[in-house]
Chain A
């Protein structure tokens, strides 16, 4: 049962309300935009993000095709590269004695394979993997990790189930939409309090749901590239700040260096067009 509490706004009755609740939309926007922004490590992505980078204490959704998890599109890899950048940035800004903060991966599916990204980490102790087994445990784990001030970023693919049929998953998404929105609001408040960043990989079909993420970015892989570099096309697909992009840019292309987990060199168009035939490259 939900209990509503009414408070009479008399005299200093406003003192109990959060400060942000007292600001108008414009004031809040100005104040939020004045907060420091951390570069994602990818200039095109920074240009796409509404704040010109990743704001500490915010959520970012990465939307991918398919409904059974991240698939092979590269969104989770890109999100982890951004998480590494956030963890490294937290140490750059501090004194030299400071150590990088922690990245928490909430892996409900149990498919996360750390050797793919561990070379990107200078110190292995920065990566913590949590494997909840139930829905409520997953929500709670993300919430707890986002509340922790020692955590730089939380990477998760909530409700990404392996082996579920499209129909059952679609009905499940629709039925639990309210629960998802409530959980995400909790996560947003938790992240805002600690400064951690939540990075969530979700199916593109969830684009129609309400979201508390600052930015929702659709990730679609591009053919071409090399073994060590990957091209991804990013499209701004919504988010709380989606209508205020700096220059109106809504789609960019980034190159991800898979060996180092950072931005690769921009891919020349001529080279990309040459790579259309099947080729086998000896390793």
Chain B
């Protein structure tokens, strides 16, 4: 019996933008479509890191605890709902992005190619209108490589989470059933838990082990419907059958609101009383009508593989031999790309060893910050990853697949050279790009960044570690337009505020330390002590560890009062202090309780 895995990527248009611009996670993001008369309609929206103010959110949306903004709502209406939930200032910091379904689709296709590590057949769901948000994987016979279906679903969810993609997954007999289960993993987990043997239920419910509780909580993000038991999904709402609103309303008129209710009706009455879409969806749900998983169209990216006649032990395989084999496959992949003027942006090397040992292939992902067609550079990146990879005992074959490609910038060389020290500027940029790829290949993509300033008054959030993707630096924080001819809104005391709302004045570099601990170091405990002459005055001396510093100069205070949207308001008085030895430190007093902290060193 075939088995299918459906991966649901909730609010994919917003997720795609958050992946490209991580700084948007702190603000509400609306993806809107402009209608004929200029009105903006919300396609999708999300606030990845909202303020922890659940009480007000629940006041708006009732039990769900979520702000009730639905797709298709006008932007003005959505802003009103957001303002009620989080205050009017949340609307000022919100980002409105134009809808781009083509780019959403392309990004989803790239992700589908990336998901070929789980199954060779990966398709994107077909939707009549709107943007697709699901991937269907035919996992018939492949789940055993990952330790079972449960393990496969868990691996898929957490591997995507490691890439910054929020996903839910479900496995069932048909794509329709898997789609329904993926959209209601919480309910499915509860249904399956109720039908589990009593001993198992008691073991989970009565366990005091945090590991067991954690596992049961994590279970909500994936679900596995046992073979031949799609009827367990009978309690799911009728919308889980992927029917449109009109059909759902027609079914609701006769008092049926679950899949089980529709399944109980005779097939003849269904065909005569409801639109044909419902019958087709039910047939797909039952599996009487096949729903093929079609890989994404478009020009296929190259993929090459070589299988060995017999398994090769890795201890007998020299690194150079393996790299030579990969280089050969890579050359064959690059040939069609170079003919199109493209280069590799993401690469996947798979060491196949699952034929006899029933384990998943060892996957080596190589990501680049800009496309390249240099075979040597790509082999070097693969070598860096191989050095840190635990290789399998035996290898049955090697596969190289281009996951993403992009246009390579071509430029005519100067006849007499030029640039820095005989190195042309674009060559220097290319050298830096290759360096970034190498650093990211060994240290990880998160360990290499290009700092970008953001308009946040709180020093901890004054910059973001943007991935160095070679694009031009982002525009500076925009000045909010004055509404109704009035003044632009400002923050309460300081010229600080959230991004895009009350733009702070540029802080002089002399006021910020070059060394800042991730968290302020308290100076009221064993690690330090501060003495000030006046209760609200500057510090006179402080002790850091065993060293007592006498302050001869103090500049300040610089009051920072901001970040109400992130939780408790941050209220601090900062001082740049200079000690008798000439060293400079950055201290602040927390206005809430008067305690002192060390927040930086002018190293």
Interface string of B565-598 (1 = CB under 8 A from A): 0000000000010111111110000000000000
A12 within 8 A of B: no
CB-CB under 8 A from A258, the residues of chain B are: 508-510
Contact B602 A72 (CB under 8 A): yes
B181-214 vs A, Cβ < 8 Å mask (1 yes, 0 no): 0000000000000000000000000000000000
User: How many angstroms between the C-alpha atoms of A119 and B505 in the bound complex?
Assistant: 13
Contacts of A144 in B (CB 8 A): 435, 438-439
Which residues of chain B are near A223, meaning CB under 8 Å? 552-553, 578-582
CB-based contact A70/B603 at 8 Å: yes
A220 CB to closest chain B CB (Å) equals 7
Contact check: which of A80, A220, A278 meets B553 at CB < 8 Å? A278
Q: Is A98 positioned at the interface, with any CB of B under 8 Å from its CB?
A: yes
Segment of B63-71, B79-87, B444-452 engaged in the interface with chain A:
B444-452
Q: Interface residues of B, CB < 8 Å — how many?
A: 70
**Is A44 close to B, CB under 8 A?**
no
Binary CB contact string for chain A from 106 to 136 against chain B (1 if under 8 A, 0 otherwise): 0000111111111110011101111111000
In whole angstroms, how far apart are the Cα atoms of A10 and B382 in the complex? 41
Does A52 count as interface, using CB distance less than 8 angstroms? no
A133: which B residues are within 8 A, CB to CB?
Answer: 443, 447
For residue A137, CB closer than 8 A to chain B, the reply is yes
Please determine whether B512 and A124 come into contact, CB atoms closer than 8 angstroms.
no
Do A221 and B603 form a contact, CB below 8 Å, given A97-B425, A128-B468, A280-B538?
Answer: no
CB A225 to nearest CB in B, in angstroms, measures: 7
B contact residues around A97 at 8 Å (CB): 425
User: Using a CB-CB cutoff of 8 Å, which residues 100-125 of chain B contact chain A?
Assistant: none
Which residue on chain B has the smallest CB distance to residue A194? B431
Shortest distance between the CB of B541 and any CB in chain A (Å): 10
A41: shortest Cβ distance to chain B, in Å? 15
Q: Mark B429-440, 1 if CB is under 8 A from A, else 0.
A: 111101110110
Q: B516 an interface residue at 8 Å Cβ cutoff?
A: yes
List, in ascending order, chain B residues with CB within 8 A of A95's CB: 418-419
CA distance A129 to B449 in the complex (A): 5
A-side interface size class: 35 or more
Q: Complex formed: what's the CA distance from A119 to B510 in Å?
A: 10
Contact B448 A283 (CB under 8 A): no
Distance (Å) between the CB of B416 and the closest chain A CB?
Answer: 11
- Least CB separation from B428: chain A residue: A150
A7 at the interface (CB under 8 A from B): no
CB contact between B603 and one of A75, A129, A222 (< 8 Å): that residue: A75
Give the docked Cα–Cα distance between A101 and B558 (Å).
35
Instruction: Report the separation of the CA atoms of residues A181 and B489 in the bound assembly, to the nearest whole angstrom.
Output: 58
Q: Give Cα distance in the complex from A25 to B259, angstroms.
A: 89
CB-CB nearest in chain B for A73: B583
B442 contacts partner chain A, Cβ-Cβ < 8 Å = yes
Q: Which residues from B are CB-within-8-Å of A33?
A: none
A-B contact count (CB 8 A): 223
- Tell me the bound Cα distance from A133 to B443 in angstroms: 8
Query: Are B465 and A90 within 8 A (Cβ)?
Result: no
Contacts of B447 in A (CB 8 A): 130-133
Majority-rule SS of B interface residues: mixed
When distances are taken between beta carbons in the complex, the residues of chain A under 8 Å from B557 are 283
| B72 contacts A by Cβ under 8 Å | no
CA distance A151 to B439 in the complex (A): 14
Write out the residue numbers on chain B whose beta carbons fall within 8 Å of the beta carbon of A277.
Answer: 552
Contact of B442 among A80, A129, A140 (CB under 8 A): A140
B420 at the interface (CB under 8 A from A): yes
CB–CB B435/A118 < 8 A: no
Are B506 and A93 closer than 8 Å at their CB atoms? no
For residue B145, CB closer than 8 A to chain A, the reply is no
Asked if A280 meets B435 with Cβ closer than 8 Å, knowing A76-B515, A129-B448, the reply is no
What is the minimal beta-carbon distance from A282 to any residue of chain B, in angstroms?
8
Query: What does the 1/0 interface line of A60-97 toward B look like (CB < 8 Å)?
Result: 00001000011111111100100000000011011101
Nearest-neighbour CB distance to chain A for B504, whole angstroms, equals: 11
Q: Which of B436, B450, B583 contacts A124 (CB 8 A)?
A: B450
Contact, CB under 8 Å: A150 / B537? no
> Nearest Cβ in chain B — how far from A82, in angstroms?
13
CA distance A278 to B583 in the complex (A): 15
CB-contact partner of B510 in A130, A227, A278, under 8 A? A227
Contact A129 B512 (CB under 8 A): no
Interface string of B502-534 (1 = CB under 8 A from A): 000011111111111110000000000000000
Cross-interface CB contact of B558 among A120, A125, A220, A283, cutoff 8 Å: A283
Contacts of A118 in B (CB 8 A): 451, 453, 463, 509
Chain A residue nearest to B510 (CB atoms) is A258
The answer to whether B603 and A120 touch across the interface, beta carbons within 8 angstroms, is no
Q: Is the CB of A74 within 8 A of B584?
A: yes
Answer yes or no: B556 CB below 8 A from chain A CBs: yes
- Does B601 make an interface contact (CB < 8 A)? yes
Chain A min CB distance to B471 (Å):
9
Cβ < 8 Å to B, chain A residues 228-283: 228, 230-231, 258-259, 261, 275-283
Please name 9 further chain A to chain B contacts, defined as beta carbons within 8 Å, in addition to the given A116-B513, A278-B551, sorted by A numbering.
A114-B463, A116-B602, A127-B450, A127-B451, A128-B468, A132-B443, A141-B439, A228-B508, A277-B552
Tell me the B residues contacting A by CB distance below 8 Å.
Answer: 418-421, 423, 425, 427-432, 434-436, 438-439, 442-443, 447-453, 459, 462-463, 465, 468, 472-473, 506-518, 537-538, 540, 551-558, 576, 578-585, 600-603
Ordered by A's residue number, 7 sampled pairs between the chains whose C-beta atoms are within 8 Å are A70-B601, A71-B603, A94-B419, A94-B420, A119-B508, A150-B427, A258-B508
| Residues of A bordering B, CB below 8 Å | 56, 64, 69-77, 80, 90-91, 93-95, 97-99, 101-102, 104, 110-120, 123-125, 127-133, 137, 140-141, 144-145, 148-151, 162, 195, 201, 220-225, 227-228, 230-231, 258-259, 261, 275-283
- What are the 10 tightest A-B residue pairs by CB atom distance, in nearest-first order? A221-B582, A70-B603, A72-B583, A258-B510, A114-B451, A150-B428, A150-B431, A113-B516, A150-B432, A116-B512
